[in-house]
Chains A and B, each alone.
Chain A
Amino acid sequence: MTPPIIYASAGAAVLCLGLFGFLAARHVLRRILALNVMGSGVFMMLVALAARTDPPDPIPHALVLTGIVVAVCVTALALALLTRMCRDEGSALLPEDRDIE
Chain B
Amino acid sequence: MSGDTLVLDLVLAGLLVFLAWRLLTLSDLFKATVLFIVFGVLLSLAWVRLNAPDVALAEAAIGAGVTGALVLDALRRLDARGPADEAQPLRLNLPRLVGALLVMGLGAFLLWSVLSLPPGWRGLSSETAAAMPRSGVVNPVTASLLNFRGYDTLLEIAVLMLAVLGVWTLNAEPMPPAEPAGPILDVLVKALLPPMVVVAGYLLWAGGHAPGGAFQGAAVLAAGGILLHLARPFNVANRGVVRLVIGFGFAVFLLVGLTLATLGGRFLELPERHAGILILMIETAAMISIALTFVVLFVGNARDNAGRDTS
Contacts and interface: CB of A to CB of B under 8 A. Distances in A.
Interface in A28-46: 29-30, 32-34, 36-37, 40-41, 43-45
A29 to B, nearest CB: 6
Contacts of B117: 49
Contact of B128 (A4, A58, A84): A58
Contact of A68 (B33, B55, B74, B148): B55
Bin chain B's interface residue count. Answer: 35 or more
Nearest to A25: B89
B293 to A, nearest CB: 9
A99 interface: no
A66 B145 contact: yes
22 contacts: A3-B49, A6-B6, A6-B9, A7-B46, A9-B111, A16-B103, A16-B110, A25-B24, A29-B29, A36-B36, A45-B114, A50-B50, A56-B52, A61-B55, A62-B141, A72-B297, A73-B159, A73-B297, A76-B70, A84-B170, A92-B78, A92-B84
Contacts of B36: 33, 36-37
Size category of the A interface is: 35 or more
A47 B47 contact: yes
Given A56-B50, A62-B149, A27 B9 contact: no
Interface in B78-115: 78, 81, 84-86, 89-90, 96, 99-100, 103-104, 106-107, 110-111, 114-115
A21 B24 contact: yes
A82 B117 CA distance: 41
A37 B114 CA distance: 19
B235 interface: no
A64 B295 CA distance: 22
Interface stretch (B59-67, B223-231, B256-264, B274-282): B59-67
Main secondary structure of the interface of B (DSSP, over half): helix
Contact of B13 (A6, A30, A37, A92): A6
Contacts of A45: 110, 114
B91 to A, nearest CB: 9
B81 A86 contact: yes
Given A47-B47, A47-B52, A80-B172, A30 B29 contact: yes
